[in-house]
Amino acid sequence: MAGWRRAAPGAAVMMFGAGVLAGCDGGSPGGGASPKAEKVGRPSVVAMSVQEYGSALAGAIGPLDTALRGLNGAGGYRGLAGRVRAAERAAEQGVVKLRGLAAPQEVSAEHGRLVAALQVFQRNLGGVRGQVEDRKVCTGSVARAEVGGASGATELRRAVAALEPKVPGWDAALGLPSGRRPNDRPANGTFIRSGDRGGRGTLTIDNGGSHDAVITLARSGRAATSVYVREGDDFTVRGVPDGRYSIYYTTGGDWDRKVRAFGGDCAFRRFDDEMAFKTERTATQIRWSTWKITLQPVVGGTASTSDVAPDGVPD
């Protein structure tokens, strides 16, 4: 049998004038006052005070902090791209707001550095969102690691650290992630969900693929047993109770123990045909079902598999 794998307000004041046309139509032709246009002056910008600037900073950066904290609450794949996109939009809006500020002269250099860092960070967030959509990044912990370890995050930390001492009263807290990836790879044959194993059936799993896998036996749409099989290894699940089971498997890397899912390069598949486990007893013997599956193509293999949505694997 063969399977398949898939590798602060009002700070800036603008003053301007408009052209004025004045005329008089009394008197004889040519004897009245001539029309004229008067130029009032060029627009001017009044720089903010440091206190006003601090309030405006909070308004520009605050939504990004909120969005990043939302990313900190992400678990598995579902909704992850939306959380990253929310942070990306908050960074984009922050750049627009910061560019519109008339920063005090004493912090103009630091302000420019903050704007530049936030622009890079926005692009980094867009890159991470693309990785999520391509299933290269699959859990919140790995997304946070990618965001926290990005060049824009490093520059943003430095820019905030340089600006904060010059803006008294500005709370520069920004929930940038730490950048640490999970490192919880289970041993081969670890049961992620033990389930009932009081039967006699056996299922041998041969993982000759290039990624670790979690194989799930499901009945009536609910997971019965799930086991972790490392790449290049095999394992036999014993004691499978009688019944018909759907077999699902997920592959990937960066196992995230907290959400029991792969954090990177995730793929989700199922065998198209159910497997029946049955025990027969006679006066002289007991017979039970034994199955073997491979998660990689093999010569003579007849089992077909199909992709499923990330939330299509029974939990």
Looking at residue 210, the DSSP 8-state letter turns out to be S
Q: For residues 150 and 144, what is the distance between their CA atoms, to the nearest angstrom?
A: 10
User: How confident is the model at residue 244, as a pLDDT?
Assistant: 97
If one counts every other C-beta atom within 10 angstroms of the C-beta of residue 165, the result is: 10
User: How confident is the model at residue 25, as a pLDDT?
Assistant: 47
CA 213 to chain CA centroid, Å, is 22
Q: For residues 266 and 176, what is the distance between their CA atoms, to the nearest angstrom?
A: 25
CA angle at 162 for the pair 59 and 110, rounded to the nearest 5°: 70
Q: For residues 137 and 130, what is the distance between their CA atoms, to the nearest angstrom?
A: 9
Domain annotation for the chain: domains and CATH numbers? 44-166 (1.20.120), 190-312 (2.60.40.1120)
Q: CA–CA distance from 98 to each of 50, 94, 147, 148 (Å)?
A: 14, 6, 21, 22
- Is residue 180 within 8 A of residue 212, CB to CB? The reply is no
Residue 234 pairs in a beta bridge with: 206
Residue 113: CB partners within 8 Å, gap ≥ 6? 155, 158, 159, 162, 163
Segments of the chain with pLDDT less than 50 = 1-31, 40-44
User: How confident is the model at residue 180, as a pLDDT?
Assistant: 79
> What is the per-residue pLDDT across 164-220, written as a single tens digit (0 to 9) for each?
999 998 887 788 888 778 888 999 999 999 989 999 999 999 999 999 999 999 999
